Structure 1
Amino acid sequence: MTYVSYVTGSDQQTPMQWPVVLVCVAIANNAYGIEYLNVTLDAVQRQLEDFKLRHPKPIGVLTTSAGSPVDVRETVTLNTDFFNSQYFWDLQTSIDKERIPQRVVHARGTGAFGYFEVTNDVSKYTKADVFNGIGKRTPAFVRFSYLIQGRDGLDVVRETGALVSKFYTNDGNLDFLSLSFPVFLYNSPHLLHPLNHAFKRNPKTYVIDSTARLDAISHTPEAIHQILWLLSDFGIFNGYRHMNAFPIHAYEIVNKHGDSYFVRFNFISEQGLELLSERAAVALRSNDPDYSNRDLYDAIAAGNYPSWRLDIDIIPKAHITKLNYNPFDMGALWRNGTYHTVTIGRLVLNKNPDNNFKDSELAAFNPGNLVPGIPGPVDDMFKARRFSYRDAQAHRLGINHNNIEVNLPKYAKTYNRDGVPPVLDNMKDAPNYYQNLFNGPVPFVDVARPKESPMIKFRQSTDLGESAYFYNTYVNTEGKRTRLATNMAGIMVNAVEEAQKEWLRIMYLVDRDLGARVEAALPLAEAQKILSRPRLVLVEENPKTYDLVPNCQ
């Protein structure tokens, strides 16, 4: 792990990966054999020029969406009856409808194609075909995102990140929805609604409301653990390539003999985990609000393919009842000494999308997309997510979202018919009901599938032990604790006093040292808020021009 403390400009020596800058007279080492003369732009800025160099002439004749050639006179309005122009109506009606509902969470993001390669024999633990056979490669698509940001938000902010992957296996699509922290906010499915609303904009003022956030979390103490991760040094990662990711749930896996294990999957960045200080993040996003997207695109374009090692932490099913903690608690870390770790393989990204909307925006992920050998999680949160993700994708993309190219499995035979396109061949003339005597698709028998699932029962009382464990184990230096308290006070200072007091009470319950530090940081945060509040100063009287200066001047 690398912690980047400060960035101001190109003269600062940091372990961060800056965009590729080409300053040679001629460069010809790229996928298309293109030469660049005196180029100083990165791959993102060169994209349109790359297209032109690959296509020296226009790529074809302009047509309407129905394929009719467009006369040049239809592309201008002068002396053109554009109301009788099909080209005009194509444009007008298309732009009115080219947006689809954005994701409720994780709306801001980007994606890339690649593959997963098996590097170790894990047949002892799972019969999943995708994970068996050293050297086997499975095509994959990965989408990266920030949790709360809308489509037009900012990168490198203090927020939960995501790496969601789709493996196109021979047994169907396998989706892993992974977050940048190894713990999640809650275990109760009904908490998605109130917490999502509290973290979004206030419905009256339409601004981010710190009082609502503090109040909601105060009434959900199980969420404190992830909030501590968020406000600690782990809270801002240095772009998507330097982020670890965790699918959160405890997954059941099974081998060909029917033996079960519970595992947690971990995607570990082979670029190394790199974290940004608040100061470094502010400097980066003020200079480049698309920093994470640009960094990923440029790295892949330059052939510096990012990769993640996929590990599993393993607990045999027979050992589950002997643990002194709940291994299915999404807000808890597994304790050292109770599991062992095995590496499965590597996830490598080597191709940028040709069109971000077609691939990244239309990509639909569902944690319920599993394969034989991975029965999956058994907790109530997973059961709820299995339904809610499919429902969300059907709302965004239509009931046939798995027929969209980026979501299309290698093989599919179903009894589903019709609905909003794409319907592909709509199963042609095959029977549209099951069961039948006429040779429609039939199910298979998975003899190794577990015959029973454990019953998980959660305590009703709130346990702040996980939060205390994180504070005393991971936030274990004076600097880390000071920064955590400062970050927390920076949020609290924008909330009303009643919400502040309740939050302080809970911090003292987590750890007295944490409570005391946050309480001491509050007056400093209040003073900083007053001093940094900008005010308008008239620079010239005519015309009226104003400048922003700190309130203390």
Structure 2
Amino acid sequence: MTNKNKQLTTSHGTPVGDNQNSMTAGSRGPTLIQDFHLIEKLAHFNRERVPERVVHAKGAGAHGYFEVINDMSQYTKAKVFNSVGKRTPIFIRFSTVAGELGSADTVRDPRGFAVKFYTEEGNYDLVGNNTPIFFIRDAIKFPDFIHTQKRDPQTHLKNPTAVWDFWSLSPESLHQVTYLMGDRGIPATFRHMNGYGSHTFKWVNAEGKAVWVKYHFKTELGVKNMTNEVAAKLAGENPDYHTEDLFNAIEKGDFPAWKLYVQIMPLEEADTYHFDPFDVTKIWSHKDYPLIEVGRMVLNRNPENYFAEVEQATFSPGTMVPGVEASPDKMLQGRIFAYSDAHRYRVGANHAALPINRPKVEVNNYQRDGQLRFDSNGGGSVYYEPNSFGGPKEAHEFKQAPFQVSGVAEQVAYDQDDHYTQAGDLYRLMDEREKARTVENIVNSMKPVTKKEIKLRAALNFYKADADFGERIAKGLVLALPQEVK
């Protein structure tokens, strides 16, 4: 045992501010699931005695760096976003969502956009998609949603009836479905698509002042998309087209790059904004909160081994650094637990110690044993805390910023249920040709649905977003909309 004190960290290298008290809603309130240190400790402990991803199974990845262009220290103390010219190594994984490991790259599906920053304060994972929104806004619906995207348990075939039944009964999905069925539903390549953190996060500066933040990665190559015809042809001829394109571009020195921008909302404005800013099915108006340039991300090195790096890479929205914290976004709150837990199941309790996931800083904690423990396992050092033998200790300056909570503990929906305005706004932004293509994509996707009532319910949802939108879809499906909605 050693007498030298070391900084206690999570398995991702993030300093621990309090290892004695879990985060609760007040001194007697219930424990909050966003306490990622508590969840990590308990979930790892459950697995100390000793499979394809459920979602995002098919993917490609690359190494690179992130360089700061504008110092963000007025908003966040996270060192990765401070000091102009500062470079931080990164690893990024792009993926499709619903398909299996052998599925085609060019299907109509959102693309995962997950970035791991190897910062001097531990790893920071920004785990989003190529869309700024998502289909649902509460994590309790996520297993059901993904079930509809997978194979039918009897036929083992994809099931459009299940897909549209769920979407039509979940009108909050309308905005994302409109985005998915539009031209950006099939990117030309991974290099020609934007990426988004999607959720609202909290930034906290060195003085303890907090703001709400959204992340936007804008491709420097410009957004380019793929037609249905080209996508279908490639799915048959080269199902790994996007994977191949990314590898070959980097291999020949054509390094893809993105500019990172953020939207910043003052903390107090979340209470008065015209919709709930933590609802991941909504976007913030760029007129209200303009984009602020932060830095530039460049991918300049391919993996040496796909399995060791791309397949074993693990990302979680709960892997944060000082200066970045969670918001009340219900989908984010659930993902903070679910993603890391999926990795503990799939890769193992010690996944964070694998070379691709290991932070560049020293990791000091009391996690022991478990499958595939391939380091010294703590040797003979002290293995509990608190202790009298100089083991790693918490540092209170890294405690998360306090925030107010109120209300009755109950299962309750978001306050606002306007699922239609932003979907309609997106449709109205399209030119006439894209509108026609979007309608055609939706109609073709819905034609195999076996129940007429599902088609009608979905068409009515689109009608509520925009009358022209709904009427075109109904016409394409040979449906008569009820007179009372017109």
TM-score range, shorter chain: 0.7 to 0.9
Per-residue CA distance 1:218-263 (angstroms, 9 max, x = gap): 1111011101100011211111011101111111001111111111
8 A contact 2:312–2:347 mirrored in 1: yes
In the alignment, which residue of structure 2 is the partner of 1:478? Answer: 432
TM-fit CA distance, 1:425: 1.7
Contact 1:164–1:176 under 8 Å retained in 2: yes
Which residue does the alignment assign to 1:219? 169
Q: Match for residue 341 of structure 1?
A: 291
User: Structure 1 pair 448/419, CA: closer, same or farther in 2 (3 Å)?
Assistant: closer
Instruction: Compute the displacement of 1:460 (Å).
Output: 6.8
Q: Distance in 2 between matches of 1:455 and 1:154?
A: 47
Look up the equivalent residue of 1:491 and give its one-letter code. Answer: S
User: Take 2:370 and 2:166, find their aligned partners in 1: how far apart are those partners?
Assistant: 39
Matched, 1:239 2:193: no
What secondary structure, in the 3-state scheme, does the structure 1 residue paired with 2:439 have? helix
Q: Summarize deviations over 1:184-238 as a string: whole Å, max 9, x none.
A: 1111111111111111111111111111111011111101110110001121111
Relative distance call for 1:407 and 1:455 in structure 2 (3 A) is farther
Q: 1:492 aligns with which of 446, 468, 482?
A: 446
Displacement of 1:505: 2.2
Query: What is the alpha-carbon distance in structure 1 between the residues aligned to residue 415 and residue 263 of structure 2?
Result: 24
Question: Aligned partners of 2:342, 2:78: CA distance in 1, in Å?
Answer: 27
Return the alpha-carbon distance in structure 2 between the equivalents of residues 455 and 192 of structure 1.
26
Shift, 1:300, TM fit: 0.4
Cα distance in structure 1, aligned partners of 2:405 and 2:248:
46
Which piece of structure 1 moves more, 376-385 or 295-304? 376-385
AA aligned opposite 2:377: N
Distance 2:195 2:58 in 1: 17
Deviation at 1:448, TM superposition (A): 8.0
The equivalent of 1:350 in structure 2 is 300
1:111 matched residue in structure 2: 61
1:382 CA drift (Å): 1.7
Residue 151 (str. 1) matches residue 106 (str. 2): no
**1:419 and 2:375 aligned:** no
Deviation at 1:523, TM superposition (A): 5.1
User: 1: CA distance between counterparts of 2:333 and 2:446?
Assistant: 35
Equivalent pair of 1:214/1:492 in contact (CA under 8 Å): yes
Q: Which residue of 1 aligns with 2:138?
A: 188
Distance 2:432 2:121 in 1: 50
Give the equivalent residue in structure 2 for 1:373: 323
Quick one: distance in 2 between partners of 1:460 and 1:372? Answer: 32
1:442 aligns with 2:442: no
CA contact (8 A) 1:404 1:422 kept: no
Give the structure 2 partner of residue 466 of structure 1. 422
Counterpart Cα distance in 1 of 2:363 and 2:398: 21
Give the drift of 1:170.
Answer: 1.0
Match of 1:162 in 2: 112
Indicate conservation of the 8 Å contact 1:256/1:448, yes or no. Answer: no
Question: Residues 417 and 423 of structure 1 are in contact (CA less than 8 Å); yes or no, is this contact kept in structure 2?
Answer: no
Q: Is the 8 A contact 1:141 1:166 kept in 2?
A: yes
Amino acid at match of 2:357: N
4+ residue runs over 4 A deviation: 453-457
Q: Which amino acid aligns with 2:474?
A: E
Q: CA deviation at 1:447?
A: 6.5
**Partner residue of 2:463?**
508
- Which AA in structure 2 matches 1:517? R
Contact kept in structure 1, 2:326 and 2:333, CA below 8 Å = no
Q: Percent identity?
A: 35
Select which of 399, 406, 409 maps to 2:356. Answer: 406
Matched pairs, number = 422
**RMSD across aligned C-alpha pairs, in angstroms?**
1.7
Provide TM-score, normalisation by structure 2.
0.84
What is the rounded CA distance, in whole Å, between the counterparts of 2:251 and 2:353 in structure 1? 28
Q: Which amino acid aligns with 1:479?
A: R
Give 1:469 deviation, angstroms.
Answer: 2.3
Cα distance in 1 for partners of 2:132, 2:442 equals 20
The one of the two structures with greater contact order (alpha-carbon pairs below 8 A, sep at least 6) is 2
CA distance in 1, matches of 2:60, 2:398: 39
Distance 2:460 2:325 in 1: 42
Equivalent positions of 1:217-296 (< 5 A) are 217-296=167-246
Q: Distance in 1 between matches of 2:239 and 2:283?
A: 33
Q: Does the 8 A contact of 1:378 with 1:453 survive in 2?
A: no
In 1, are the aligned partners of 2:276 and 2:416 still within 8 Å (CA)? no
1:200 aligns with 2:150: yes
Q: Show the counterpart of 1:7.
A: none
Decide which of 380, 385, 392 is 1:429's aligned counterpart: 380
| 2:473 alignment partner, one of 518, 540, 552 | 518
Residue 431 of structure 1 and its aligned partner are, at CA, apart by 1.3
Say which of 237, 261, 270 aligns to 1:311: 261
User: Mean alpha-carbon deviation: is it higher for 273-282 or for 186-195?
Assistant: 273-282
Correspondence 1:292-303 to 2 at 5 A: 292-303=242-253
Q: CA separation in 2, counterparts of 1:376 and 1:309?
A: 23
SS in 2 for 1:163: strand
Q: How many angstroms does 1:156 deviate by?
A: 1.7
| Cα offset, 1:287, TM superposition | 3.1
Q: Residue by residue, what CA displacement relative to the aligned partner does 1:460-484 show, whole Å, maximum 9, x if unpaired?
A: 7463222222222x32x22111111
Measured against aligned partners, the alpha-carbon deviations of 1:490-542 in whole angstroms (never above 9, x if no partner) come to 01110112322222222222221111111222259xxxxxxxxxxxxxxxxxx
| Gaps in structure 2 of 5+ consecutive residues | 1-50, 408-412, 480-486
Distance in 2 separating the partners of 1:168 and 1:454: 32
Q: Which amino acid aligns with 1:522?
A: L
Segments of 5+ residues of structure 1 without an aligned counterpart are 1-100, 525-553
Q: CA deviation at 1:453?
A: 4.6
* Cα distance in 1, alignment partners of residues 318 and 300 from structure 2: 26
- Separation in 2 of the partners of 1:237 and 1:460? 32
Does structure 2 retain, via aligned residues, the 8 Å contact 1:247–1:265?
A: yes
